[in-house]
Amino acid sequence: MSNKKNEDIEMRAVDGGNEFAAEKDPFLGRSSPIPSRSRGGSQPPVSIDKITNSPLASILAYCLSSISMTVVNKYVVSGSAWNLNFFYLAVQSLVCTTAILLCKHTGLLKNLAPFDSTKAKRWFPVSLLLVGMIYTGAKALQYLSVPVYTIFKNLTIIVIAYGEVLWFGGSVTPLALLSFGLMVLSSVVAAWADIQAAIDGAHSAETSAALATLNTGYAWMGMNVVCTSSYILGMRKVIKKMNFKDYDSMFYNNLLTVPVLVVCSLLVEDWSSENLARNFPEETRNKLMIGMIYSGLAAIFISYCSAWCIRVTSSTTYSMVGALNKLPIAVSGLIFFDAPITFGSVSAIFIGFVSGLVFAWAKVRQKAQEAGILPTSNKPTMSASAQSNRDANS
């Protein structure tokens, strides 16, 4: 869904990677260091085996899948006349649900539980929060550049962390506080750079229009931070009781949001032939439809690549990759969408990149300290914040 899975980039933390990888393995397929020889059977090519067990290949696949999803989402919603966000999100959800069911039918996905109407009713409020999150995210991405959107998404981490302190007894370390300060600073610098670029416009009318666009984007971004935090914290309250595995929550989220998004689209969006022609101009219609379908599949790709990366590396490496991935995502916006390249925008990207690294390192240190406090515990100790992030990415 629109950045629903891509948002794991800033919310993932070190959180019991072995458990996570074990749950994903049925979908990924377990691979042995020594290929098994079966009578009359054929062995897979050695090169394929090397790729599926290559840390570098898994990291590149994860980065490319998340970057491509952000770029495609921005491409679809950035049309000057685009106003069918609910329809776009409904297509994403439908494609993702269909892909999950096909994977289960073909045997690629073996650990997906059968649909349970009772669980669906209990999960439905979480899906409503998800609708708010993905819709406000799509609107924010429509008005803001990819670098600014990526930088401002960091603020969600701060709200979630303090929400956990209030409601779940979480804790914030000094190093995490430092990362929060850098996140706020990067957002301020990004906003300043955007506003400065708008003020430097040649005509006052253009300047006013640019500022109005930015203000609208910041408003949607603020709502997205609130909606995302509510979704993550609300899901944490429910997911443990539901006994969901990794792909169960993705399946229920997409399945339950389809009717909501379709109804919202029919009620509030213009389905006249004139508006459809404006949203899907003939010269770009095929590209837009392909992009909408790909964005739905990208949620599966990102989840697959996430599991692959953790399986062949470690949860610590994966957490760091998520932090490092912010830089190419932000740069992709500069390359593909003509975002203004100024000293302020580059500085904001760099500070946001550093803040992600500091936050990831803070989670690594926090996990190590907690594991040292309880060395006799059979189950790896997990902070409230790490557990919430784990739940959010299931």
For residues 235-245, give the mean pLDDT: 76
Phi, psi of 143 (to 5 degrees): -100, -20
pLDDT of residue 29: 40
pLDDT band at 314, cuts 50/70/90? low
- CA–CA dist 289, 275 (Å, integer): 16
- Look at residue 390 and tell me if it is in a domain: no
Q: What does the pLDDT look like over 5-35, one tens digit per residue?
A: 444 433 443 343 333 333 333 333 434 343 4
Q: How far is CA 321 from CA 12, 59, 72, 146, 160, in A?
A: 10, 7, 21, 19, 21
Higher-pLDDT residue of 135, 208? 135
Handedness of CA 203, 204, 210, 211 (dihedral sign): positive
Q: How far is CA 179 from CA 174, 192, 344, in A?
A: 9, 20, 19
- Look at residue 32 and tell me if it is in a domain: no
Structure token digits, residue 78: 């950035």
- Look at residue 39 and tell me if it is in a domain: no
Spatial contact of 296 and 96, defined as CB atoms under 8 Å apart: yes
Q: What percent of the chain has pLDDT over 70?
A: 77
- Look at residue 85 and tell me if it is in a domain: yes
Q: What is the pTM of this model?
A: 0.75
Q: What does the pLDDT look like over 365-376, one tens digit per residue?
A: 877 776 665 443
- Look at residue 234 and tell me if it is in a domain: yes
Q: What does the pLDDT look like over 129-145, one tens digit per residue?
A: 999 999 999 899 888 88
- DSSP letter at 116? -
In this predicted structure, the answer to whether residue 339 has a pLDDT above a threshold of 60 is: yes
Spatial contact of 92 and 6, defined as CB atoms under 8 Å apart: no
- Look at residue 199 and tell me if it is in a domain: yes
pLDDT band at 269, cuts 50/70/90? very high
Counted domains in the chain: 1
Q: What does the pLDDT look like over 149-166, one tens digit per residue?
A: 888 888 888 888 888 887
User: How close are the terminal C-alpha atoms of the chain, in Å?
Assistant: 14
Q: How far is CA 96 from CA 68, 92, 256, 318, in A?
A: 16, 6, 12, 24
Structural domain including 123 reads 8-25+54-385
- Look at residue 153 and tell me if it is in a domain: yes
Structure token digits, residue 280: 């899907």
Q: How far is CA 207 from CA 99, 146, 214, 225, in A?
A: 44, 20, 11, 27
pLDDT of residue 222: 92
Could you list the beta-strand ranges (E) of 178-259: none
| 194: helix, strand or coil | helix
Cβ neighbour number for residue 305 with a 10 Å cutoff = 22
Residue by residue, DSSP assigns 134-188 as HHHHHHHHHHS-HHHHHHHHHHHHHHHHHHHHHHT-----HHHHHHHHHHHHHHH
pLDDT band at 271, cuts 50/70/90? very high
In this predicted structure, the answer to whether residue 61 has a pLDDT above a threshold of 90 is: no
In this predicted structure, the answer to whether residue 388 has a pLDDT above a threshold of 50 is: no
- Look at residue 134 and tell me if it is in a domain: yes
